[in-house]
Structure 1
Amino acid sequence: MKLTKLKAGLLTVALLVISYAIWAKQNQPSPAATAKGTVNGANITIEYSSPGVKGRKIWGELVPYDSVWRAGANKATTFTTDKKITVEGKSLDAGSYSIYTIPGAKTWRIIFNSETGQWGTTHDGVTTRVPAKDVLTVTVTPTQSSALEERLKYLVTPKGFELVWENLSVPVAIK
């Protein structure tokens, strides 16, 4: 009898732990997300955390202009390609990279950095990017979105990828 009560108690605790883990994952302020697609035969995967607008002004305020940004929340955003590609006319070898950006009012710099897996910022809010590990930087021009996008998202399209959030779309051409 005692063994049955012990098993029932352990099962109850296990179910509570599993339930809490599922609830916590679903209720994160910036949940993990993945964008996948194929561009000219290259399989592209972008893993990121997706913050929400939550009534805030994003560009130029929450994400300042002319400062390095980790291109998402939490861990640095990761970009993976299984084939060598051309990004905005510049060559990028197959592999995994962290994406950082330097948003501007008129143009953005997109930075592919060879270090992956790091947390996106320090406790002081400074990015963890090591500039010596940058392998490619391109400049792109954002456009206004047709509608408010509450959560940051990446899209992989036949033309490349886009970062879309708040009222902005940032397309990056890939061939």
Structure 2
Amino acid sequence: MNALRTALVLTLPACAPSALSAQAASELATFTQVISGTEVELVYSRPSLRGREVIFGRQIPWGEVWTPGANRSTTIRFSSDVVLAGEPVPAGRYSVWIRVLEQEPWVMALHPDTTLFHSAHPPIETAAVRFVVERERAAEMQESLLWDLDRIRLDGAQLVMRWGWDRVAVPLEVDPGIALATPAEQAQGLVGAWSYDDSPSMPTAEQLERIAGREDPTARYFRVFGAEPRPRPIRIEHDADSGLLWFVDPLTEAAEAAFYSAEGEEPEVVYGQALLPRGAGFFMIAGTLGGEVSAVNPQFAPIVEFELDDAGRAVAFTIRGPDDSVQGTATRAGG
């Protein structure tokens, strides 16, 4: 008996460390992103190339229904109803599968069974939701499979998978909680040229003089922003495709470009402003980046109140801050 106990004691240290330190070949990863109150969670294992030049068409044969991960099936969860690639997806958790094809677009599917092993390929036809996705060549090689959310904006993002030289981007739409689009018939009476006076919100002459002597982004901004007399010309335009009503202010755009550009660089205009409907004749100013509404806080965003004539055409407007102070006024300039 003593000999048996001794043998067990001697053999345990030899196996215990390897068991405790064991790691999966494809480590588990998870990320969670909140977009306008909708939580998106993705759980997956990350296989790596490990010297392999080609994955699809070899290790993953053409036509196979593959979970974009390893070990157990990749899962995705939405806390609210969303739209993926134009297809409505009810809130919930799903396993994710892709049919990989050599010449045709790939097919992504969300399956209600989230307990499947990666080799338990469910038929695409039994998926809760399925849609076509375009396979693209990535700009850089990705060693370990990576899921991410890109181009996040107020009403959605891009759900992106990258592995090797392959990239798949899926448009994701969420409910932003506020209206972004303005109907064409409502926008018609607002568009055109305006004479805009924002002098109530401008720094004083003494403040501008102090800022002018500095070399920093704020100084670059106000050197541009304070260069034109008030009132100044702006336009309001409506985009029929997105429904967005644009507050087109070239001076503010140029000042923002100067702020975000390094000294000596050619400024790049990516900043803009959109007017989001809040009620009859009332709009909220939201910042945009690259033509997309990037962020807005209804508690602090300036409010634009339009004055309409008997025909329903706007002839003037006032911009007020959160404390109801006047930040700017404008009158119709024609157009």
Whether the 8 Å contact between 1:35 and 1:156 is mirrored in structure 2 is no
Which of the residues 123, 136, 143 maps onto 1:143?
Answer: 136
Q: Which residue of 2 aligns with 1:116?
A: 114
Q: How does 1:102-113 map to 2 (within 5 A)?
A: 102-105=99-102, 106-113=104-111
CA shift, 1:143, in A, is 1.5
User: Aligned in 2, Cα 1:93/1:18: closer, same or farther, shift over 3 Å?
Assistant: farther
Q: Post-superposition shift, 1:18?
A: 7.9
Distance of aligned partners of 1:131 and 1:148 in 2 relative to their CA distance in 1, 3 Å threshold: closer
TM-score by length of 2: 0.43
Residue in structure 2 matched with residue 6 of structure 1 by the alignment: none
One-letter amino acid matched to 1:143: E
Structure 1 distance, partners of 2:166, 2:16, is 39
After superposition, what is the alpha-carbon deviation per residue over 1:34-60, rounded to whole angstroms, capped at 9, x for unaligned? 132134532111111111111221122
Q: Please, which moves more after superposition, 130-139 or 53-62?
A: 130-139
Partner residue, 1:48: 44
Q: Distance in 2 between matches of 1:18 and 1:51?
A: 24
* Correspondence for 1:70: 67
CA distance in 2, matches of 1:19, 1:64: 34
Q: Which residue of 68, 82, 85 corresponds with 2:82?
A: 85
Q: Is the 8 A contact 1:150 1:166 kept in 2?
A: yes
Q: Which residue of 1 aligns with 2:149?
A: 156
Q: Is the Cα–Cα contact under 8 Å of residues 82 and 89 in structure 2 kept in the other structure?
A: yes
Aligned length: 155
**Corresponding residue of 1:168:** 166
Q: What is the aligned-residue identity percentage?
A: 22
Unpaired segments of 5 or more residues in structure 2? Answer: 1-8, 174-335
- Aligned CA RMSD, in angstroms, stands at 2.2
CA distance in 1, matches of 2:35, 2:108: 18
SS of 1:104's equivalent? Answer: coil
Cα distance in structure 2, aligned partners of 1:85 and 1:53: 32
- Local SS of the residue matching 2:83: strand
Aligned match of 1:124: none
TM-score under structure 1 length normalisation: 0.79
Counterpart Cα distance in 1 of 2:36 and 2:63: 32
- Counterpart Cα distance in 2 of 1:17 and 1:91: 49
Does the 8 Å CA contact 2:28/2:43 hold for their aligned counterparts? yes
Aligned position for 1:37: 33
Q: Is the contact between residue 147 and residue 161 of structure 2 (CA under 8 Å) also seen in structure 1?
A: yes
**Paired residue secondary structure (1:117):** coil
The gaps in structure 1 that reach 5 residues or longer are 1-8, 122-126
Shift >3 Å, 4+ stretches: 16-20, 130-133
Query: Is the Cα contact below 8 Å between 2:66 and 2:121 reproduced in 1?
Result: no
- The CA distance in 1 between the partners of 2:105 and 2:35, in whole Å, is 23
